A = this chain, B = another copy of it.
Amino acid sequence: MKTYDQLRSHFLQTSYLNKTIALLDWDHETYLPSKGVAFRADQQAFLSGLSHERLISQQVGDWIEACESESGSLDPFQNANVSAWRRDRDRAVKLPTEFVESFEKECALAKAAWAEARRKSSFELFSNHLSKLVEMSRQKADYYGYQKNPYDALLDVYEPGCTSEDLSPVFSKLKEFIVKLLPEAMDVTRRISSDYLQGFYPLEGQKKFNEMVARAMGFDFEAGRIDATTHPFCTDLGPHDVRLTTRYNELDFTESFYSVLHEVGHGLYEQGFLPEHAGTPMSEAVSLGIHESQSRLWENKIGRDPAFWQDWYEKACECLPALKKWTPEDLTLAVNRVSPSFIRVEADEVTYDLHIILRFEMEKDLLSGDLKVEDVPAAWNERFRSMFGLEVPDDARGCLQDIHWSMGGFGYFPTYTLGNLNSAQLFSAAQSDLGTPAAVLQDGHYAEILAWLREKVHRHGRRYEPAELMQSATGQTTQPGYHARYLEHRFEVLKA
């Protein structure tokens, strides 16, 4: 067998293991009985260790080196795979297997503790786990190494090449823009109260409508499904097995609906990898900032545009008759309501990035040691007050609201904001390429948008770096101005 083929086959088998670990995790979130958590943690730790060992094996290192030296005989996809494997292995070699196993195990336990802590709104129940994970994450950053800030070592895992120094000026510019737009945006939706759409939306009707729209957007239910969890997510369990989750609230259909649109965006990306690349980096997401651009595009650029509810109003009313008392215009205004609030995943598009900036700053301080874990609730509440002008009522609506830290995912949050920026930029390019902006927002045109994204983003997997991908898709690397112009335009239209 040729060296490249050996490497390819090795990583295909590793992907069997990795997708199995993803299934253990999906099951953990969806269906695992409560007493099964401890064993599952051991199980996940053991399998993660196996996967890690397969990645760092000397044999793999030798194969990669051999392939690099004969790169002239490989095609561009093969060379891109070899580069990605090199990058992954170099990173992984830095972490001892026992560290990976105990990190995974701690995460599994921490996630269970977090779920309970959030339910009871008691930070105490989560505090020890968070301390352990912060400490271990700092250790992880030390293993990886970094130039200036331990945080950068973690950020790079999610957004290759990105540092906190890159982000800080972008984030402060963004903060400035938000503060400027906020009063006007709030003004436009002032007549909409927070419980404006409250009604009774039976679970079955929500499921039906969610699936109808997901299908129209192109999500393939023969290669995916939607289940219920505390925190919505999307996971790729194999080349034709993409699982989305959402959470249902029978008093407010928008909670499940917009999280489904969001996860559908992620899911379309995963379903858009080419099956012939299964088990290689060419069928993996290039970065979370690109991944998130896909979810934001379908959730916001399309799902909150005035054209959306013009299109879907009748079908929505059939599934959820409580909607009949409003007009499509009411619905549009309601789902674009701007008002500072506590929960990130329920935040409006204008204030959303403030939530991210808060977390970015908390994380940096936790990692640097400037903030102690026991001070997290107080610090969160104080910073929240200063940014949002609101008093956090309890930890469930404060520092316990997100699952990320319980998964050891420090450095993850900033990619949400990168996703917003990329999303606006990609959508603007798609609109230019596809014709009149209004038309591409109609139901009948979803396939065209999807085809554009498949061509420009999805099918490439990790072939290019995020910056190269943005450059080739939009003609520019990530720029913050598109997001600002998109929001300004949205609220101008709504005002009219």
Binding site for B on A (CB under 8 A): 13, 16-17, 19-20, 23-24, 27, 31-36, 38-40, 42-43, 46-47, 50, 220-225, 227, 237-241, 278
Contacts and interface: CB of A to CB of B under 8 A. Distances in A.
Nearest to A14: B46
Contacts of A46: 13, 16-17
A40 B238 contact: yes
Contacts of A47: 16-17, 20
A50 B46 CA distance: 13
A294 to B, nearest CB: 20
Contacts of A31: 225, 227
28 contacts: A13-B46, A16-B46, A16-B47, A19-B39, A20-B43, A20-B47, A23-B23, A27-B27, A31-B225, A33-B222, A33-B224, A33-B225, A33-B241, A34-B223, A35-B220, A35-B240, A35-B241, A36-B223, A36-B237, A36-B240, A39-B238, A39-B239, A39-B241, A39-B278, A40-B238, A40-B241, A43-B238, A50-B50
Contact of A221 (B33, B42, B239, B241): B33
B33 A16 contact: no
A34 B238 contact: no
A23 B34 CA distance: 16
A35 B278 contact: no
A46 B11 CA distance: 12
Most buried by B among A16, A40, A46: A16
Contacts of A50: 50
A142 to B, nearest CB: 28
Given A17-B46, A20-B20, A23-B23, 8 more contacts: A13-B46, A23-B27, A27-B27, A33-B221, A33-B222, A33-B223, A33-B241, A39-B239
A-B interface, 3 closest residue pairs, ranked by CB to CB distance from nearest:
A36-B241, A35-B240, A39-B238
A17 to B, nearest CB: 7
A36 B238 CA distance: 7
Nearest to A220: B35
Contact of A240 (B13, B27, B39, B220): B39
A20 B39 CA distance: 11
Contacts of A222: 33-35
A16 B35 contact: no
Contacts of A240: 33, 35-36, 38-39
A241 B32 contact: yes
B24 A43 contact: no
A20 to B, nearest CB: 6
Nearest to A42: B16
Contacts of A42: 16
Contacts of A35: 220, 222-223, 240-241
Nearest to A12: B42
A158 to B, nearest CB: 26
Nearest to A46: B16
Contacts of A223: 33-36
A24 B24 CA distance: 9
Contacts of A238: 36, 39-40, 43
A434 B249 CA distance: 49
Given A33-B240, A34-B222, A238-B36, A43 B27 contact: no
Nearest to A45: B16
A415 B290 CA distance: 55
A42 B20 CA distance: 11
A20 B16 CA distance: 12
A303 to B, nearest CB: 23
Contacts of A24: 20, 23
A39 B238 CA distance: 7
Contacts of A241: 32-33, 35-36, 39-40
A182 to B, nearest CB: 42
Nearest to A30: B31
Contacts of A278: 39
Among A23, A220, A239, A278, the most chain B Cβ lie within 10 Å of the Cβ of A23
Contacts of A20: 20, 24, 43, 47
Question: Which of A39, A46, A221, A222 is the most central at the interface, judged by chain B CB atoms within 10 Å of its CB?
Answer: A39
A340 to B, nearest CB: 39
Name the residue among A13, A36, A38, A40 with the largest chain B CB count within 10 angstroms: A36
A34 B40 CA distance: 26
A274 to B, nearest CB: 14
Nearest to A44: B16
Nearest to A240: B35
A227 B33 CA distance: 12
